[in-house]
Amino acid sequence: MTTLPITISPEVAAALEAGRPVVALETTIVTHGMPPPDNLQTALAAEAAIRAEGAVPATIAVIDGRIHVGLSPEALAALAATEGVLKLSRADLAWALAIGATGSTTVAATMICARAAGIAVFATGGIGGVHRGVEESLDISADLTELAETPVTVVSAGAKAILDLPRTLEALETRGVPVIGWRTRRFPAFWSRDSGLPVPLTAEDEGQIARAHRMRAALGLPGGQLVCNPIPEAAEIPLAEIAPAIAAAEAEARAQAIAGKALTPFLLARINAITAGRALAANRALVLANARLGARIAVAMARCGRPS
């Protein structure tokens, strides 16, 4: 058997050993989701937000062919400053480990690594989903498949309105992924608190989410849960205001034939530019809010015993 090349930081390992709350964080948002210096600042602020709630942050990346769970500030800064870092998802994670590559992890790859380390909660910005024009492109993020297969509770601000949101919700339903609004009955759309669509389930407290995670394990169900935390009101960009920026970015992507892995980073960068940084500020605010909620869910899970 090949042993998995994984390094868990001493702080994260000690917390997991003692059954203390741990929250995983992804790094594609650092390398492909935000420009410097906001990318590193946001990543460090998310770690601080998790600590402030009494949990331990575990930022995940692949460095020289090893999974690292819990990055030093130096390692995180180096990743944030490197250009051309690979964006690793389910399809490329094993390959990157086999050839000794360095890469950031998407929601899907971060879930795989979190599970390997024994971490049950993960906070991100927004998940990937079904892209608009899926009839032509067949572009559906591997994040949806991973949510169906890997038992990690993912805290997001919903899915970006650059996606086909009704189809994204249908795909999650088909795959048996619980989509849980945090104190809302509306499916949030990343920069906006309300996508115009209802969310299937609503949680009023962290304990409900922690218990549902364990109940899925008791049922023998694979897969995780998607928690949808609406962006804080002060930072929100209502759908009607962000829609023209999305449409413009999409038109540019079509004109330049941007597709596949490059599409999400391209659209995010264009929308940040078109909104003169307002979308970036919103992105930062929602990541921090998700980190805080993820930590509170991890605390609730630790209270009801070790996650399984």
Contact call for residue 146 and Mn ion (CB under 5 A):
no
Contact call for residue 298 and ligand PSU (CB under 6 A):
no
Structure tokens at 195: 């996508």
CA distance 87 to 105: 6
What secondary structure does DSSP assign to 251-285, as a single string? HHHHHTT--GGGHHHHHHHHHHHHTTTHHHHHHHH
Nearest residue (CB) to ligand PSU, 16 versus 102:
102
Q: Which member of 15, 25, 29, 279 binds ligand PSU (CB under 6 A)?
A: 29
Q: 152 contacts which partner out of ligand PSU, Mn ion, none, CB within 5 to 8 A by kind?
A: none
Compute the residue count for the chain.
308
Q: Which member of 115, 213, 216, 261 binds ligand PSU (CB under 6 A)?
A: 261
Q: Using an 8 Å Cβ cutoff, are 86 and 99 in contact? A: no
Contact call for residue 32 and ligand PSU (CB under 6 A):
yes
Place of tokens 């399809």: 91
Interacting positions 37-96 with ligand PSU (CB under 6 A): 89
Q: Which member of 225, 264, 272, 290 binds ligand PSU (CB under 6 A)?
A: 264
What contacts 67, CB < 8 A, 6 or more positions away? 4, 5, 6, 7, 60, 61, 97, 113, 116, 117
CB of 185 to Mn ion, least distance (A): 29
Omega within 30 of 0 (cis) for the link into 73:
no
Q: Tell me if residue 47 is catalytic.
A: no
Determine the residue with CB nearest ligand PSU. 33
Instruction: Give the N- to C-terminal CA distance of the chain in Å, as an integer.
Output: 24
Nearest by Cα to 286 from 193, 161, 210: 193
Nearest by Cα to 152 from 301, 2, 33, 303: 301
Q: 194 contacts which partner out of Mn ion, ligand PSU, none, CB within 5 to 8 A by kind?
A: none
Q: Tell me if residue 160 is catalytic.
A: yes
Contact call for residue 38 and Mn ion (CB under 5 A):
no
CB of 17 to ligand PSU, least distance (A): 28
Contact call for residue 126 and ligand PSU (CB under 6 A):
yes
Contact call for residue 194 and Mn ion (CB under 5 A):
no
Nearest residue (CB) to Mn ion, 139 versus 194:
139
Place of tokens 């960068």: 269
CA distance 129 to 139: 8
Q: 106 contacts which partner out of ligand PSU, Mn ion, none, CB within 5 to 8 A by kind?
A: ligand PSU
Contact call for residue 128 and ligand PSU (CB under 6 A):
yes
Residues facing residue 60 across a β-bridge: 69
Nearest residue (CB) to ligand PSU, 28 versus 102:
28
Residues that bind ligand PSU (CB under 6 A): 26, 28-29, 32-33, 89, 106-107, 125-126, 128, 141-143, 261, 264, 268, 283
Residues that bind Mn ion (CB under 5 A): 139
